[in-house]
Structure 1
């Protein structure tokens, strides 16, 4: 086993086309012409998002929906590798949007939807190596989205070279149809193509390897594959004593498919030669959605503690490498999150690989609003290919337990909408009969009766009923006779609805609509992490009400859900700070202005009180100010609400102590900061890999002489990086800031900001320094090596 992705593939070559790209903004009449002189174009690496580079401006046509980001048309060019051997296939994991691909000036293909993974067989164009690859990207027609998308080749590009007889791209479908403690029956469907000009005798050998690389089952089959055709092999294998894929122990297996073809041997005989192999990770697990007892994984009930995620990552924009995704999932895991909804488009494949390896359940979604938001002209032509692109690519991920074919159509419940829904759900069920299919229902209709009528129409065409902001209507759905599993696909983090009203401004954690009901499978908060786009008026750039901000810092509101979700003891104290600066947001998704500090000098002078919330999953919380006991409160007295206190302010410390059965299980302390004295650096890891993709997040905190964060500090912090790395972006979590995300400085926001540093490919050491006027600076040095050392 060579990598986290499983065994090496010996008979095919796959590589990412990351370097050697040249890029220009604006349209070029002869951009595909191999004779074009592009020497003055910008040198870039893929993945690349030109929108995040700015400038962000209120006059940009993306407007608030796109976060006021620049868009337009751009061209990419590079030479294909000279050493191509065999049949080349080019794969784009995501290009936003409406892109055209050319090889030596010849048009290869196009795609309007910006999130589909697309494969192009370059052998049809006589590619042998060294040809000019050109890609035109047109992200310029508005409106085409409701959020920030990024622009360009923002996901990876892969070149795969195989024998003419080979496993088709995403041509392996692994199904675990029957599983018990003694045995897992595995069905493997493998599509083998023959691009030769004559029929070929093909043998397919499939091995199942466990997590240690040991072969635990083998099957073989033979077939004649006609020229220009394909054959789907169906093989059934049995794995003894299977290890289940679970959230706590996400064990994976690997199906290795080796293709043999007959070749002429000595003296007129023949021999079978191995010409291709393909490795497909999968998991052995069962799941069941029920209408009365919710969701089961491997026979055990599991409540989905989920979040919705957009595809951008703060200062990186849409060009997000694996480490950034991993860090986000690590932080969500800390909160107790166990499920992701890919709102509202197929994610990059690395996210799904990480969910498989880290133990997250996934609702995989394609499309937002179908014929709306710029899709009217191409939806009918492309929906089937986009849907199959998602399902064929993603169907072997054990983390995925539900397909979603769309979200929040404006014409909810209309005849036209229901026809589209039926078309999409039926197609998805045919493409993958092993998983249920759903659609993200908006809370729209004329009062409760109208909402329920619309939901009844939808329920006839989905396997799981998911609802956005509809917790207060769950009983109405049951009374209407809807007998489907129910899941909250979008839920507010602090408020919920009541009766006919979509909002009830009472701090009831919507998690308890899952906790208190046996028939609700889980919730997905909107959103898990702040994202760009869907902004308010300038200078707002994005949606700021996530559990986690764009720097990766957990907000006090995130701790509210950690206390509800986590199985580990939790207590967290947060002060209501009405002077706290925070980005503009839609009030329905907001909450109190909570801060993790104890700096209220105006209250001390006036002998005022500070409103404090404590979040806990323990029985009781004791509160101490400067070690003076203030009182005890019990969580049961508050139910689904946070424990609330009114504290007569004194500078110093405020400490919350959580107890279970009289024993201390967790503590959290707020501390008063003095005057700013220094910038202090911290990093999220100690080593980096020299691969041009690995990242370290460097946090700069303005602290006082005692090392306490100064919560209202807004100093401009200058970062300097030398050696084996460069700054990929800077951020402070303030989505109303007019500072650029690409640069070498950023103002502190609530006392902190970050620089994201990307490793180079040469290795060595990267040195990172930070300074601010009037403050002591700080620095850190990290090794960068082939293996992270």
Structure 2
């Protein structure tokens, strides 16, 4: 099944362009890469003049395939008409979004053209891949005037082989990035986060041998702490090779032979393994070498399963002390630009005594997963199937499935990732059940070693809070969002009358609760937007959540205040969602310490309970 999926991805075609994009290369950032980060010239193009002619026909679909901005033309004589000029255009930093760099682009949604000149020295016998860690949302990519392809999805990586187009000397890469929201896309046109546009993550040119290690998975088998399973996939003409896997610290070295498709299964027993966990984030150096290539990775080994109402990490019951997070730096406007930004966010989570983070509502930076591996934080990873999707549109489903597949492909070797989430707060309907159920099946077909979940909605009948969603039958967790004390249920002190009626005999993880508080605004516990209101809300949430049989974790909403166009209140919000436990200036609100005290208590109690069993 894995081989079938891999081959399908390798030959996935973008029907509207006629260009293909290969499946993602595993751990490509570790290769010999030329960084294309830095300053890129840009042109704002709200009418898309650089893409369409006056009859709204795409230049790159015309017979000549010229006329667009991607030609990156310069005037060669004084009579030539060219109505753009990258050389004299302003610049934007990459990686970063355009909204936070230019005030005039703060609320802009539409097309921006990026251009980067770079010098290459291609070597005969090598292959070259142009890689984008993310571009929001629809990106059309051109090298030296030739179209490489198109990618949809604002948070997943994509790449194109450019071996035959790369020139010795100066090269021009042009990218049309369009972050226009549309109801048939993933996410849909209504979200509760800022729609940051642009080349938001790393861009580089990777150098590879003619036949290279394209993909691999090296993980513990499902529920088996003494068996490593996985596969290796080669790409190139010499597909049948001997591949050696070496984990020096374990004195474990073995070889497999790839078949005519370049594929080989990995399966070997392992002993004396130090299992990865939040308390022991042990990573092993894993070396994979073929006859023509070699790649190194740092991989942790652990198992994650459910048993009744328990979540078992390495065979032991665990309580997920979590927090939800956005991929946003509150202190420096915009998407995170560096490892330092990401490490700051995870460090705040650790200060809460978290062992778990929900990276909502879309795939976060790949470096975040590697830092979570290093720092000992379990991860809920999610795709942006958010609110009301175009459930009956087959192209929308293909898009969602593709983004889910890219997320799993990218992060399948990260021990920290224990949950694939297929969506958030999606309303009940038969088309939705089919759409979401198929995503669950797809996730399991790609990776059976992790849990599959979604953040479900709930319903109320009097004081009874009901969790009963047909999708829940297919999920590993009873996971849901609830906002008693903020969107319903009265004031915080009034919510203790509610109790939960959860249909499923599964571990319960409450994926969201909380309320807004403006840092520094103090009043009594009944005054909305005050720190005291938020503090009281958390205190009373713990009372009602404590009554749930099988409660095994939570990820309150949210670690840090984040920008949102849906939040315009001029006094308390100013286009910020204020549900963060930390303000946009880094100030910890009173509820931060309330949650920390709760997690300190839960950690102590849960560990004592485990020790007594």
**Of residues 458, 468, 477 in structure 1, which corresponds to 2:471?**
458
Asked if the contact 2:324–2:360 (Cα under 8 Å) also holds between the matched residues in 1, the reply is yes
| Correspondence for 1:544 | 578
CA shift for structure 1 position 541: 1.6
* Residues 373 and 152 (structure 1), Cα distance of their counterparts in 2 relative to 1, 3 Å cut: farther
Q: Offset at 1:296?
A: 2.5
Alignment partners' CA distance in 2, 1:360 and 1:399: 6
Structure-1 residue corresponding to 2:317: 301
* Equivalence for 2:219: 175
1:83 paired with 2:129, answer no
Name the structure with the higher helix share: 2
Match of 1:133 in 2: 173
1:383 Cα deviation from its structure 2 partner:
2.1
Q: Secondary structure of the equivalent of 1:131?
A: strand
Shift of 1:101: 0.7
**2:302 match:** 285
Q: CA deviation at 1:364?
A: 0.5
1:339 has 2:324 as partner? no
- Helix, strand or coil at the partner of 1:240: coil
Given the alignment, which residue of 66, 73, 76 partners 2:111?
73
Q: Pick the structure with greater CA Rg.
A: 1
How far is the alpha carbon of 1:41 from its aligned partner? 1.8
1:55 corresponds in structure 2 to 103
Judged with a 3 Å threshold, the aligned counterparts in structure 2 of structure 1 residues 379 and 442 are, in CA distance, closer, same or farther, namely same
1:417 lines up with 2:429 in the alignment: no
Question: Which structure 2 residues correspond to residues 551-700 of structure 1 after superposition, within 5 A?
Answer: 551-566=585-600
Map of 1:203 onto structure 2: 242
Partner of 2:505: 483
What's the offset of the Cα at 1:527?
A: 1.0
1:536-593 Cα offsets, whole Å, 9 max, x none, are 2264121112111123332222111111113799xxxxxxxxxxxxxxxxxxxxxxxx
The alpha-carbon distance between structure 1 residues 506 and 401, as it changes in their structure 2 partners (threshold 3 A), is closer
1:34 to 57, 62, 72: 72
Query: RMSD across aligned C-alpha pairs, in angstroms?
Result: 3.4
Report SS of the residue matched to 1:324. Answer: helix
Which of 550, 561, 566 is the aligned partner of 1:530? 561
Match of 2:377 in 1: 360
CA distance in 2, matches of 1:178, 1:48: 38
Which whole-Å deviations, capped at 9, do the CAs of 1:736-758 have from their partners, x for residues lacking one?
Answer: xxxxxxxxxxxxxxxxxxxxxxx
The answer for the alignment partner of 1:162 in structure 2 is 208
Q: 1:154 to 1:381 in 2, by over 3 A?
A: same
- Tell me what 1:219 maps to: 254
State how 1:369-408 maps to structure 2 within 5 Å.
369=386, 372=389, 378-408=395-425
Alpha-carbon shift at residue 532 of structure 1 (Å)? 0.7
Q: Is the 8 A contact 2:304 2:450 kept in 1?
A: no
Are the counterparts in 2 of residues 405 and 424 from structure 1 also a CA contact under 8 Å?
Answer: yes
Q: C-alpha displacement at 1:184, in angstroms?
A: 3.5
Say if 2:379 and 2:416, in contact at 8 Å, map to a contact too: yes
Counterparts in 2 of 1:567 and 1:279: CA distance versus 1, 3 Å:
farther
Determine the C-alpha separation between the residues in 2 that align with 1:28 and 1:209.
Answer: 56
CA distance in 2 between partners of 1:188 and 1:216 (Å): 19
Out of 468, 481, 495, the position equivalent to 1:468 is 481
C-alpha distance in 1, partners of 2:482/2:356?
A: 18
Identify if the C-alpha distance between structure 1 residues 506 and 567 changes in structure 2 by more than 3 Å, giving closer, same or farther. closer
- In the alignment, is the contact (CA less than 8 A) between 2:382 and 2:420 conserved in 1? yes
Measure, in 2, the Cα distance between the counterparts of 1:358 and 1:88: 33
Partner of 2:197 in structure 1? 151
Q: Give SS of 2:100's match.
A: helix
- Among 222, 227, 235, the alignment partner of 2:266 is 235
> 1:737 matched to which residue of 2?
none
Tell me how far apart the structure 2 counterparts of residues 373 and 522 of structure 1 sit (CA, whole Å): 31
Structure 1: unaligned runs, 5 residues or longer: 1-7, 61-67, 261-274, 497-502, 570-616, 619-789
Q: Which residue pairs with 2:443 in the alignment?
A: 428
- Correspondences of 1:727-746 after superposition (within 5 Å): none
Displacement after TM superposition at 1:236 (Å): 2.5
Structure 2: runs of 5 or more not aligned: 1-26, 51-67, 75-84, 183-188, 485-495, 517-524, 527-533, 606-613
For residue 130 of structure 1, give the secondary structure of its aligned residue in structure 2. Answer: strand
Matches within 5 A, 1:691-770: none
For these two proteins, the number of residue pairs brought into alignment is: 511
**What is the rounded CA distance, in whole Å, between the counterparts of 2:417 and 2:145 in structure 1?**
40
Which residue pairs with 2:44 in the alignment?
25
Query: Which residue of structure 2 lines up, in the alignment, with residue 14 of structure 1?
Result: 33
Deviations 1:449-501 (A, max 9, x none): 8954xx24122221212110179887412xx4x222211011226999xxxxx
Q: Which moved more, 1:361-370 or 1:117-126?
A: 117-126
1:493-504 equivalent positions in 2, closer than 5 A: none
Deviation at 1:377, TM superposition (A): 8.7
1:117 aligns with 2:157: yes
Residues 1:405 and 1:179: Cα distance change in structure 2 (over 3 Å):
closer
**d(CA) in 1 for partners of 2:34 and 2:601?**
41
Question: Distance in 2 between the 1:304 and 1:233 partners?
Answer: 36
Aligned partners of 1:17, 1:375: CA distance in 2, in Å? 39
> Contact 1:252 / 1:283 at 8 angstroms: preserved in 2?
yes
More strand by share: 1
Indicate conservation of the 8 Å contact 1:443/1:470, yes or no.
no
- Cα offset for 1:78? 1.2
Say which structure, 1 or 2, has more relative contact order (CA 8 Å, 6+ apart): 2
TM-score normalised by length of structure 2: 0.76
CA distance in 2, matches of 1:370, 1:231: 41
1:547·1:555 contact (CA, 8 Å) conserved in 2? yes
- The Cα offsets for residues 373-414 of structure 1, whole Å up to 9 and x where unpaired, read as 8996951342222111000001111111111011112xx221
> 1:434-449 residue pairs with structure 2 within 5 A?
434-444=449-459
Mean alpha-carbon deviation: is it higher for 483-492 or for 41-50?
41-50
Q: Verify the 8 A CA contact 1:207 1:257 in the aligned structure 2.
A: yes
Kindly tell me: are residues 84 and 548 of structure 1, through their superposed partners in 2, closer, same or farther at Cα, counting changes over 3 Å?
farther
Q: Secondary structure at the match of 2:438?
A: helix
Q: Distance in 2 between matches of 1:392 and 1:475?
A: 36
